Amino acid sequence: MGLLEFIKDYFIGFLDYETPKVMVVKNKKLGVIYRGVQFFVITYFIWYVFISQKAYQDSETRPENSVYTKMKGTAVQGDHVLDMVEYVRPSEGGDVISTILRRVVTHNQRQGTCAEHFTVPNANCSKDSDCISGKVDFDGNGQRTGRCVPYYNQTFKTCEIQTWCPIEDYAAIREPALAEAINFTVYIKNAIHFPKFKVLRGNIKPNKRNGQKYLNKCHYNEEKHPYCPIFRLGYIAEQAREKFSELCRTGGVIGVFINWKCDLDLDPSECKPTYSFRRLDLRKNLPSSGYNFRFAKYYSKDGEEFRTLIKAFGIRLDVIVHGHAGRFSIIPTIINTVTAMTSVGICSIICDWIMLTFIDKNAIYSGRKFDDDSKVPKPSQTFTLPTEFTIISYGSTHSDLSEGVAL
């Protein structure tokens, strides 16, 4: 029977109408809390939401972009002069370009048989039966022939393999680093398009008369030359907080971040990129730290094919573009303004909770705040609370607690 009454009361109460009641509580501490929370909410929406985040704008964060890179510079190594064809990979740069700073070269390799390197697992042997014919080791340099042979001019023996001989681990020559590479320059051309606003921008300022002459002489400077996207490798390493000598030794991957933050309500000249640089690969005592790659140069001699194997250590530049554009729009302005006005109501909720929970006479406040018209006496009667508060009229939606209650 109790359950049925509960269900009945619930459905009857569900159709009741509730309206807010205004009650003035003259309590200074509660008033300070109320105005303090109110000030915090209003400040948050004005300073952070509208001024900092520009919530009054319609925005676009996924623009279309293109990147073209080109590197220039000349270095002398011994009797050879190296230009961009020698040290730049790939020759036609996109959003990734690398330059060789140091090389380990193995000359005159040709297809044949030679001894496996002694550091390869199970490569050391004393007789032919120790070497399984046709076996290919994952860490090795070729396919075993089944013979046990002297390790080049040494007294010990290793398994013979069929591969490009001589092997790199034995015959490689380490060349000195290209110290002049610190002055190599990389040209980064970037165009960005915000299709929502039909806005196209580039990181090179249009100049029909002296544009090419200007680019031939300038280097990037954030204040003096913001539209000159030509960077020295030494400047890039410095901005990424890396030592150029260490990059020459191990190589490394550096991210070039182009950031477009455009307020389209301002002059178009204010929409210009900023650049930042950061090392991307892990480098703390890891065997795989740094950046290197191998390639070969093939040639024929007396009708036989030879190659020069080159292991290159260098700097790889990954160009990463971020874009954000905004322009005033009435729809987000209305939405965020209404949200701000609604959020001010949280001040009353917090203060009501404090008043009904922590104040000494919270039962009196609760009785004055929540009225049930089904229990209100007839208008001809006068009802007095058993406290210092007296209600003279009924049905009013405004009350004034003229006596403050200490927190």
With both helix axes pointing from N to C terminus, report the angle between 346-357 and 362-369 in degrees, rounded to the nearest 10.
130
Task: Output the DSSP codes for 238-282.
Answer: HHTT--HHHHHHH-EEEEEEEEEEEETTS-GGG--EEEEEEE-S-
Q: In 269-372, at which residue ranges do the beta strands (DSSP E only) sit?
A: 273-279, 292-301, 304-328
Strand-pair partners of 232: 185
**Could you tell me how far CA 240 lies from the centroid of its own chain?**
15
Confirm whether residue 71 is marked as ligand binding.
yes
- What's the rounded Cα separation, in Å, for the pair 127 and 148? 6
Confirm whether residue 27 is marked as ligand binding.
no
Confirm whether residue 292 is marked as ligand binding.
yes
Confirm whether residue 35 is marked as ligand binding.
no
Confirm whether residue 307 is marked as ligand binding.
no
Q: Is residue 216 classed as helix, strand or coil in its secondary structure?
A: helix
Pair of tokens at residue 238: 């410095």
Cβ atoms of 92 and 352 within 8 Å: the answer is no
Cβ atoms of 21 and 396 within 8 Å: the answer is no
- Phi, psi of 229, rounded to the nearest 5 degrees: -80, 50
Confirm whether residue 208 is marked as ligand binding.
no
Cβ atoms of 101 and 313 within 8 Å: the answer is yes
- What's the rounded Cα separation, in Å, for the pair 378 and 393? 11
Confirm whether residue 311 is marked as ligand binding.
yes
Confirm whether residue 293 is marked as ligand binding.
yes
CA-based radius of gyration for the chain: 39
- Which residues belong to the annotated binding site for ATP? 70-72, 185, 292-294, 311
- Which residues belong to the annotated binding site? 70-72, 185, 292-294, 311
